[in-house]
Structure 1
Amino acid sequence: MNADDSVPGPTDDIMCATYRALCRHGYANLTMQDIADEWSKSKPALHYHYDTKRGLLLAFLEHLFTAYTDRVAAPDEGSPRARLDALIDAALDPPRADAHRELRTALFEVKAQAPHDEAFRERLERFDDYLAAEIRRIVAEGIEAGAFRADADPEMAAVLLVTLVNGAHSRRVALGAADGVRDAINAAVDDHLEGGVR
């Protein structure tokens, strides 16, 4: 959890327990007792830190966002296209993707709460906003360097690519595959960003 060698605090342990409980039970069936069981402490001890399941899951999304920004960041070196490809690859395929299948499914259920819960929506939007900002930055730098078309629109590129990444995640959970998405992204970048660049 932590990059350093410090001893994890109770919050780190609770986040690990929440991860395991979500993977085991999914969102809909998850209870505070399930998380306490994974934490190997009592439910009252868990309530000392978090009053409700909702509050704990909002904190868990914050925890995931920190890990996401550590993992999904545009590289500082390489051509703009190579940097953009690396960013999209990181957003599409987290490490140990198979091990995260249950978590992906649980988070898909969490996303379904967003239309009805502003706090969930705001936290989930942060993931998209972060990825979009990284894409806009690379595209703008690529335009300036002459690697992407001068008339390319960084904002439109970000909207398109974030939408494709989100669609790939949804298809992976709902259908078990996201075949062709990487090819579609490559084609979009070829057409909208690199088309006509010599």
Structure 2
Amino acid sequence: MTGPEDLQARAAAGDSRAFSQLMQGSKARLYRFVRRYVGDADEAYDLVQEAYAAAWLAIRRYDPARPFEAWLYRIAINKCRDWSRRRRVRRWLLSAGDLTTPEAMAVADGARDAGEALATAQALARLGQAIAALPPPLKEPLILTAIEERSQAETALMLGISVKTVETRVARARRRLADTLAGLEATD
């Protein structure tokens, strides 16, 4: 039986089977994290694939003394940040165009039909949108600790920040979410 340290060392040496085993053991958690980060299932799937591809290409730089999952999450977080930047640029470019053209009008807005969604589903959707709208320095530690149930120490390692910074950012994220959700309820 091979232990996780042996598997990590073999993967770091370029063993594709060991890397595949590490990937299988982490893919569900990584997908959930990325899905919550970007708010879109299809985009999350693509980003997870990009993260694994980037991890494999950089596997020789992986230090087996560090947890594989922390290293992998750093890569995935960077992929999510890149995705967010690209999305902002696309939004800006689209806003500069004529949105009254037939092509622009044919694009679905992705909004939920209020008639078919239950109140709880709407509340969850608002929460998901509020989380997705948080800036990355607040969103990342919040998702990792509150949703993924990672410890603050593990989150700090994944994000490359101190435990105290994780604690502070999570508290700020929760305050911002509470304010955002209270503002949304006031307008409903």
In which range does the TM-score fall when normalised by the shorter chain? 0.3 to 0.5
Which fold has the larger relative contact order, with Cα–Cα distance below 8 Å and residues 6 or more apart in sequence?
2
* TM norm structure 2: 0.35
